[in-house]
Structure 1
Amino acid sequence: MGKMKINLTNPATRQIKQAKIGFSWTTFFFGVLVPLVRGDWKWFFILLAITIILGIPTFGFGGALVGLVFSFVYNRLYINDLLGHGYGPADDYSEKALQSKNFIG
């Protein structure tokens, strides 16, 4: 399936959000700015706090390490949060992609 971009929709608000499954290159390069731009306040503040806490005593190295680690997990966290807030697959492709990566049963 390659690079999977999926569409999630909230049936209550009719809002559609697109998300990528897999490694987050945007998080790798832009770190804490990604959840900020997406309006993902929970993960913005968590990532910001961890980056500051680990970055200050290590002169930035710890903050860079946080960005690297979150690059591998952020998209999964973001999709799980959307699913938890009532979003679901907007089309058959998105549903199959979510099933293949064990987001939904």
Structure 2
Amino acid sequence: MAIEVNLEKYGYKKKGFLGFSWTAFFFNFFVPLFRLDFLGFFIFISPYLIIAIIILFTIITGINNENAIFVLVIICSILKFISRFVFPFIYNKFYTKDLLKKGYLPPKDDDYSNAVLKGTGYLEYTDEDLLDKEKMERYKVIIEEYENERKKDMHTIIIVFALIGVIIAFFYFMASYS
């Protein structure tokens, strides 16, 4: 699961996220759409638009050359792979950095959000933070918990992708016998 951090600007609150986006993995371009992140939506949907243009181009021009069709299938597969398996790794970071750039900041009394954002380099430590030893100890504990959670997530991601690979290999193996 992605780590949620609280952000606010002029009293308006939003959630920022860190880590792998399981929702983007399963629901793809609907995630930025529901978050009203139109730039993210365009980035997520652009591979599908390019695939649609390639398919329309192939239909309109009537390409019958097997090599050309093979190349087009490879290009479409790469674009689909990027959209399904690369974007979920980077989307939450992109979204949260965009919120921070727009001026959303964690509430001052929210140690968890401040510690995670400062400990991961999204925000810089203030002089006040660095001088407060007690606060820095709390931040250190929170960051260690965050890093442990990230390790668990990485193991889960590896297991899920391995299972997907096994399932694909199984169906490929079964299809080769028909």
Structure-1-length-normalised TM-score: 0.84
Structure-2 residue corresponding to 1:103: 122
Conserved in 1, the CA contact under 8 Å of 2:2 and 2:20?
no
Residue number in structure 2 paired with 1:29: 26
Gaps of 5+ in 2: 55-71, 125-178
- Give the number of the structure whose alpha-carbon radius of gyration is greater: 2
Equivalent residues, number:
102
Normalising by the residue count of structure 2, what TM-score does the alignment of the two structures yield? 0.52
2:106 matched residue in structure 1: 89
Residue identity opposite 2:4 in structure 1 = K
| Structure 1 or 2: more helix by fraction | 2
Inter-partner Cα distance in structure 2 for 1:58 and 1:17: 40
Matches of 1:58 and 1:76, distance apart in 2: 30
Deviation per CA, 1:56-104: give whole Å up to 9, x if none.
5438632243221011000000000000111001222101000111101
CA distance in structure 1 between the aligned counterparts of 2:46 and 2:2, rounded to whole angstroms: 30
1:57-96 maps to which residues of 2 (within 5 A)? 57-58=72-73, 61=77, 62-90=79-107, 91-96=110-115
Superposition CA RMSD, Å: 2.1
Q: Percent same amino acid at aligned positions?
A: 37
Structure 1 residue runs of 5 or longer lacking an equivalent are none
Counterpart Cα distance in 2 of 1:73 and 1:99: 18
2-structure distance, mates of 1:75, 1:93? 17
Which is bigger in relative contact order (C-alpha 8 A, separation at least 6)? 1
